[in-house]
Amino acid sequence: MSSPPQAHNFDVGTMSPAENTIKTFVELHMHIPPSASSLTLEELMTTAGVLRQASAIIEATKDALFTVRLFTPAELYVWLTRRQLTIDAYNIIRRRAAAILWQEFGGGRTER
């Protein structure tokens, strides 16, 4: 029988490689207007796959900790910061995809 996770050793602040990739993506693209971005549709799709993985890891981290105990206030802050990165990445991807569609087909809005 395996022993239960050690709640006091749980490190909610350790980011996975997927999360680090998303963090770098957000830092590089957050302040570039979607219409000025050079991201291609293929790059957006690749990043969206990494984003899906990072989101799953963040949720699994929360779920694993909740089987043992609740977040401390500091852990909650760190977890919410990690989650915000995925939200920011999603918004960058969505806006750039809309800009690509605008350039390709015309019409519609690129900014929200």
- Distance, in Å, from the CA atom of 23 to the CA atom of 97, rounded to the nearest integer, reads 19
Work out whether the CA dihedral 26, 52, 11, 77 comes out positive or negative: positive
- Kindly indicate the confidence band of residue 112, based on its pLDDT and cuts at 50, 70 and 90: low
Spatial contact of 89 and 106, defined as CB atoms under 8 Å apart: no
> Model confidence over 31-84: pLDDT tens digits?
999 989 999 999 999 999 999 999 999 999 899 989 999 999 999 999 999 999
Domain extent listing, the chain: 40-112
DSSP class of residue 38 equals: -
Torsion angle of C-alpha atoms 55, 92, 19, 80, degrees rounded to 10:
-60
CA atoms within 13 A of residue 8's CA, in its CB half-sphere: 0
